Amino acid sequence: MNTSDVTFRAACADDAAHVLEYLEPFVVAQQILPRSTREMDVLVENAFLAERDGQIVGFAAIEIYSLKLAEIQCLAVSTDVRGLGIGKELVNRCVTVARDKGILEVMAISSSGDFLKQCGFDYTLPHQKRALFYRPGDIS
């Protein structure tokens, strides 16, 4: 199989339930965070699907927090089509949305740092800006 078998399109409101169903195995495997129906209704406004034979084989959304920051969310590609450039195309489409809206920085949180680096992301931004994280639930 090659990428000519895969089509890409912007997601729409009618896709939300199907996307949640598609993402469920990735949530169970703890590869992405669970999303509520309400959260997905918002995410699909700036999201993209990869489809093959009418079935979802990839998904990514960009959540825009402000003109300063947006985040790639729910990036998932079916195992049987990985390595074909589908994830990279989904990320590129999300980054294009951010660029078109004048967003200054896009971040992505993932266990696949090498993949994101291939898409142009890095662990630091110019002038050594770094993202640091704190989980409030871990307070003892």
pLDDT average per 10 residues of sequence, the chain (140 residues) = 80 96 95 94 96 96 94 94 93 95 88 79 72 67
Residue of 53, 55, 27 lying closest to 39 (CA atoms): 27
Q: Which fold has domain 3-138?
A: Aminopeptidase (3.40.630)
| Cβ proximity of 86 and 77 under 8 Å | yes
pLDDT in the model for residue 113: 73
- Specify which residues 9 forms β-bridges with: 49
Q: Kindly give the pairing relationship between strand 105-108 and strand 69-77.
A: parallel
pLDDT in the model for residue 116: 78
Residue 50 burial (C-beta neighbours within 10 Å; 0-12, 13-18, 19+): buried
Domain locations in the chain as residue ranges: 3-138
pLDDT in the model for residue 3: 61
Please give the model's pTM, rounded to 2 decimal places: 0.85
What is the three-state SS of 107-129? EECCCCHHHHHHCCCCCEEHHHE
